[in-house]
Each structure stands twice: as C-alpha cells, then as structure tokens.
Amino acid sequence: MTTAHQTGTVYLVGAGPGDPELLTVKAQRLLSHCDALVYDSLVPKEVLDLVPEGCERRFVGKRRGHHSVPQPSTNAVLVEMAQHHAVVVRLKGGDPFLFGRGGEEAAYLAKRGIPVEVVPGVTAGIAAPAYVGIPVTHRSAGSSVTFVTGHEEIDKRRPSVNWRSLAAASDGLVIYMGLHNLPRIAEELRAGGLPPETPVAVIQQGTVVGQRCLKATLENVAAQARAQAFKSPSIVVVGDVIEHQVEACMPTPAAVTMPIPF
Ligand SMILES: C[S@@+](CC[C@H](N)C(=O)[O-])C[C@H]1O[C@@H](n2cnc3c(N)ncnc32)[C@H](O)[C@@H]1O
C-alpha cells in the first residue's frame, strides 16, 4: 500500500505469447510480488496465478461477445491502482510495445507524474512461428521482415497499411490480427507483385494447447484458413522463410489454455 501523497510504480509487463515458460525472469519476479494486477485477454490463467494472494486484480480485456474496455477507462484504472498500491503490474500479451497500446499507457502515466517502467516480452510474431519451426528471418530468404497489423478497418486512428508497397519493400511479413482481413490482404499483396505461389503460414494459438499451423500459398491461404476454421489469435507469416521450417526444433506447446477473446 502507498501512503496518501505517494503513488506506486506501474510496470508495463510483457506476458509473452502464452507458454508461461516464455515469461522473462523480470516479469516473473514482478508478478510474484505485485500488489495490483491489471490484465488483458490472451494471458493464460497459469500466468495470472503467479501473483500473490491478496493482490488486487482488474480485467480490462475483451470478453467473448463484448467490446474491450475503452482505453480511457483502462488509463483511469491504472491511475487508481497506482494511487493505492506500490507495485502495479499492467500485464499485456506478448510485448507491451508491439501492437499492445503500451506506448499510449506509458505516455498517459508519465504525463501525470506516475512512475512507469516497461518490461519487454517475447512477442507472438516471433514465438508462434518459432514453435512450429519457422524462423522469421533466414539468410537465404532475404534481409528484411516487417511486423504489421491486419486489423486496420477497426482501428481507424492508425494510418492504413499500404500492402502493395510492403509486397515490394519487405522480404517477409509477420501479420498480427490478420485473419479476418486475409482475403483482402492476400489480394493486395498479389496486386503489389508477390507471386500467387508465395508461401504463407497461419499459426493459431502459438505456444499453447490448441496450437496448429496451416501452410498454404498467397493464392489459396484465405480459402484454406476459412475451410479449416482458423480462429484468433493467429499470426500470419508471408515469405520464403516458411520454406526454411525445421520441424525437428519445434518445442512442445505448453499445457495451458489461452482464453479466446472473440
Ligand atoms: C493486440 S495484438 C497483441 C500483440 C502482442 N503485444 C505481442 O507482442 O504478441 C493481438 C494479436 O497477437 C497475435 N497473437 C497473440 N498471441 C498469439 C498466440 N499465442 N498465437 C498466435 N497469435 C497470437 C494475434 O494476431 C492476436 O490477434
């Protein structure tokens, strides 16, 4: 507990992609002694259970069939928690600064004089492909990879992605939240010059129970993902790196279940 004139520190902590063994040592240490926990969807119960008994918990993610808590309410919860607790963990799936609004929350807290510190995490865009043996870069598959969101039509505040330019500019793509828009994304990438036979992989629920991987081409990936009922959370990888998959190095997914937010 903090005294009336002090505020606690908010740690923006990356929870990793799901497998609790991919938490960083620092994340685990903070979780094990925090006074308050503010968490999102896409964090398994086994990770949440690392917090001490008596820790105040607030869920601010998306529940099935409901909208997520609006960002201003989440910001307000963080301020309130910092006013009442010394160590506040704001836990986010993957890495807090990669498509996780961590930057917005850090700026909001810093502006109000609330101590805030980021704890990077293992992002799903690297870990989910790795758990199916796909390296996101390979010397024989070019020199660049782009992390990109496929979620644009919902978040109008972001400038839209120029898929055609990306097709020409980046050797590989790692697409977050891209499943819903996959037909259009594939079409745009082809219009940008990528051949129809370009390899594409979709990895659902990477690193945890339910993990599965579809390998297809730009031409047929959308139809195959639909036919095989692929669901969120999924990462889509586009590019020749998929041909460098090494199945022998695949870890066993953790025996934990990822809450599916929608
Ligand atoms: C709001 S973004 C958050 C990304 C997160 N900050 C990170 O660094 O991984 C959520 C998206 O990440 C991807 N994702 C997160 N966890 C995943 C997992 N275990 N397997 C596959 N995709 C995942 C999905 O594309 C999901 O829609």
Do the Cβ atoms of 186 and 165 come closer than 8 Å?
Answer: no
* Residue found by looking up tokens 């999102």 in the block: 40
The predicted structure's pLDDT at residue 152? 72
Distance 158 CA to ligand 1 centre (A): 18
* Model pLDDT, residue 41: 85
| Chain length of the chain | 262
- Given 62, 231, 240, 250, which residue is catalytic? 62
CA atoms of 233 and 235, how far apart (whole Å): 7
Task: Assign 129 a pLDDT band (cuts: 50, 70, 90).
Answer: very high
Which tokens is 178 given?
């891209």
Residue 124 Cα to ligand 1 middle (Å)? 5
Domains in the chain: boundaries: 9-122, 125-249
CATH number for 125-249 (one of 3.30.43.10, 3.40.50.150, 2.60.40.2140, 3.30.950.10): it is 3.30.950.10
Which value, to the nearest 10 degrees, does the dihedral of the CA atoms of residues 194, 196, 199, 200 take? 90
Assess whether 258 carries a catalytic annotation. Answer: no
CATH of 9-122, one of 3.30.479.30, 3.10.20.30, 3.40.109.10, 3.40.1010.10: 3.40.1010.10
Same fold, 9-122 and 125-249: no
Q: Which residues contact 178 (CB under 8 A, 6 or more apart)?
A: 148, 149, 150, 151, 185, 234, 235, 236
pLDDT at 42: 86
* Residue found under tokens 């609006």: 70
DSSP conformation class of 200? E
Q: pLDDT above 70 covers what percent of the chain?
A: 92
Ligand 1: distance of its center to the CA of 176 in Å?
6
Who wins on pLDDT, 67 or 164? 164
Instruction: Please tell me which residue in 35, 40, 81, 258 is annotated as part of the active site.
Output: 40
Contact 152, 185 (CB under 8 A): no
DSSP code for 197? T
Set 19, 35, 95, 177: catalytic member: 177
Distances (CA, A) of 212 to 132, 133, 206, 231: 8, 12, 7, 10
Q: What is the pLDDT of residues 14-46, one digit of tens each?
A: 999 999 999 999 999 999 999 999 998 889 999
Looking from the CA of residue 100, the nearest atom of ligand 1 is 6
Side-chain half-sphere exposure of 245, counting CA atoms within 13 A: 20
Give CA–CA dist 190/213, Å, rounded: 22
Residue 259: pLDDT band (50, 70, 90) is confident
Q: Containing H/E element for 173?
A: strand 172-176
Does the active-site annotation cover 156? no
**Which residue lies with its CA nearest to atom 24 of ligand 1?**
233
pLDDT of residue 159: 67
Decide if 62 is catalytic.
Answer: yes
144-162: burial string, b at 16+ Cβ within 10 Å, e else: ebebbbbbbeeeeeeeebe
Q: Name the β-bridge partners of 201.
A: 215, 237
Span 188-208, pLDDT tens digits:
999 999 999 999 999 999 999
List pLDDT tens digits, range 60-108.
986 555 566 788 899 999 999 999 999 999 999 999 999 999 999 999 9
Which of 42, 123, 134, 211 for a ligand 1 pocket mutation test, highest count of atoms within 8 Å of Cβ? 42
**Which pTM does this prediction carry?**
0.94
Checking DSSP bridges between strand 9-14 and strand 116-119, what pairing results, if any? parallel
Pocket of ligand 1 from Cβ distances under 6 Å: 17-18, 42, 92-95, 98-100, 123-125, 128, 176-177, 203, 205-207, 232-235, 258
Q: Which one-letter amino acid corresponds to residue 90? A: R
Whole-number pLDDT of residue 23: 98
Candidates 152, 155, 176: which one to mutate for ligand 1, based on the most atoms within 8 Å of Cβ? 176
